[in-house]
Structure 1
């Protein structure tokens, strides 16, 4: 990773930490604010809703400015709202702060994706995009467990304070190391939005929402799967999540490499089919601890490996709407999160075992692979540009 891309990775580190750390601190937040854990869980939804709303709107409003200025502005908002989360006096204020801190999430990645691709060496655009998402994977591997530990043993407010510090450091690095570039909008906003009146645009977003949702059908219920099916002690789950995080780091690198070497849509098909196989194996082999650990790593790797190829598909398809397209992708990833958790939970409502969400995930990933195949046949997409 070059120092030009380092500020983008740092931003990903902060964003990934604030997005996922709340999940491990829900009991602490609920106890401190005198609310139930299910009510505290709405803080997760508030953040995701902020991502979906903020990604396209903030990018559309800011695309006529130089990307360095935009990214700094987004990170200022991110830092400010996370600080507000750390000092929120009550549940309502915290809920609003979580929603607001989600607004710049997708917008930062949307702009950052296009900036990273433009800063890349010839033929290495996908690897440059993967470098930006390295921060997100490292958040899952190291920062989320560390900050969760601090928040649990001292106070949950420290978690968001730490995220605010990461935000300040990111702002400084953006100012110091990210090169100045011209505004990325080459056409008017009206012309840019024309791409999203095409079936092609929504086809790509559907691939993400459905196919990537298969991963979240598994990941949303991984803790009870490991405890009740694999029979791991509850104290071991945090360590097994590090295994999943390590897989995400490896998968992110692998996905960027493959998307630069091969046709990104074919890479996406291969990875989604691989996810189908892996999730079916989760269904049959999770009762065996060794296989459970191995599959946790593999599924984590496949989860993040799809990011770079799908971003390249959007950039190649959207052309002058690439930045807005990348922002919409971030919204689609959060829709995938919600759909995966929703559909993955249906078997549990009917009293079935925690292995069944993986079958739901395999079905969603298979549908995503089919959508990718149809996309390839219809648009004959070539390799990365």
Structure 2
């Protein structure tokens, strides 16, 4: 690792915040279609399921791009890498606002996410480089707070703006925020940071580490289950409860605000509880919320309450996976975090594909139970990965 001698304490002090803001832009870029599927479908003259493929195909690109770009760019200085990535995200969001038809929007999105795949894992890996070891858990969780804010503030705003001003305005707004994030990263992130190089031996070492393989499987199951429902949450609420855009936006707000609260709690307790215990707690909340969605389908108040419960766990489980991977093999953290992000997107692709199939066949009630099944398997695996000697970062 290299550090520029001219980097000041102030720069390092606020660097995690700059990385967190970059995750807000990344999260909004990835999640945006979920908040405006009806507007995309109507504006582009395609079905809801076809509009949902923006998420499915995007997730496929992300799951391939995350480890591939981690390998190709591991020797590039981090500030240069992350600022360039945010610049691409900003430009491609602006380009999306001017896409003339579905095919061009899909191509732009695939380019956007092929480069954007770098952002989240590299932000987490960079966060681990700029703080003391005892602060890594809370710092990584704080950086992932950006995804919670993308859901808490971004998704409701996306739904609100799309219903009133159209989906093009949404993409333009994300592009503007991306420009701001680019400037903040350039200003606050220390220069001269280079992580451990990623090579083929690194991937082989990861494959031989049983704990890492199990943790990656948990990530895939967690995300597969959640995205069976999450991808089509707005249309499902409309079908099951006759909810309008504002009511749907309110549910997204519950989901995101509770996610913000959940990860804030996780950030405070992970250094004392340990990542394993924290992970079990918040995965249980996800399962309880999705099960509640399935059982109460048809009742807007009860489904909204279930989404809030689910929201408490969704971002925290993701950040705890990152913390556990870093603790399992610190020397391989950059590669393992990138691969975990890839598995996260594999789960998104699997879940959204299954959710799209169920939606197309009008199996609106069944999607919640299938989602709960995936998350129940994930919780079982989390419990089975209990460390023999529980340590603060195990």
Q: Give TM class, smaller chain.
A: 0.7 to 0.9
CA contact (8 A) 2:35 2:234 kept: no
Structure 1 partner of 2:202:
192
Corresponding residue for 1:149?
A: 160
Instruction: Map Cα deviations across residues 26-81 of structure 1 (whole Å, 9 max, x no partner).
Output: 44444444444433333222322221122111111111122112111221222232
The aligned residue for residue 271 of structure 1 is 282
TM-fit CA distance, 1:353 = 5.6
Aligned to 1:56: 67
1:283 to partner: Cα distance: 3.6
Give the alignment's TM-score, normalised by structure 1. Answer: 0.87
Q: From the superposition, tell whether residues 364 and 188 of structure 1 become closer, same or farther in structure 2 (CA, over 3 Å).
A: closer
Alignment of 1:1-385 (within 5 A): 3-120=14-131, 123-185=134-196, 187=197, 189-198=199-208, 199-223=210-234, 226-227=237-238, 229=240, 232=243, 235-286=246-297, 289-343=300-354, 354=365, 356-376=366-386, 382-384=391-393
Gaps of 5+ in 1: none
| RMSD after superposition | 2.9
Once the two structures are superposed, what CA deviation does each residue of 1:199-234 show, in whole Å capped at 9, x if it has no partner? 433222111101333333343454455455556556
Contact 1:248 1:304 in 2 (8 A): yes
Deviation (angstroms), 1:269: 2.4
Q: How far 1:294 sits from its partner (Å)?
A: 2.6
SS in 1 for 2:195: coil
Does structure 2 retain, via aligned residues, the 8 Å contact 1:47–1:100?
Answer: no
Counterparts in 2 of 1:234 and 1:206: CA distance versus 1, 3 Å: same
The more displaced of 45-54 and 294-303 is 45-54
SS at 1:5's partner residue? helix
Contact 2:70–2:198 (CA<8 Å) still a contact in 1? no
The change in CA–CA distance for 1:287 and 1:83 in structure 2 (over 3 A counts) is: closer
Contact 1:343 1:360 in 2 (8 A): no
Deviation at 1:111, TM superposition (A): 1.0
CA separation of 1:233 and 1:45: change in aligned 2, threshold 3 A: closer
Q: How many residues align?
A: 382
Q: Distance in 2 between matches of 1:265 and 1:346?
A: 34
Distance 1:258 1:357 in 2: 33
Cα distance in 2 between the residues matched to 1:34 and 1:279: 31
**Residue 340 to residue 36, structure 1, CA distance change in 2 (3 Å):** closer
CA separation in 1, counterparts of 2:375 and 2:381? 10
2-structure distance, mates of 1:78, 1:85: 10
SS of equivalent to 1:376: coil
Q: CA deviation at 1:285?
A: 4.2
Report the TM-score, using the length of structure 2 for normalisation: 0.85
CA contact (8 A) 1:195 1:318 kept: no
Give the structure 1 partner of residue 5 of structure 2: none
Q: Is the 8 A contact 2:222 2:374 kept in 1?
A: yes
| Partner Cα distance (2:87, 2:228) in 1 | 33
Question: Hey, what's the Cα distance between the residues in 1 that align with 2:166 and 2:301?
Answer: 35
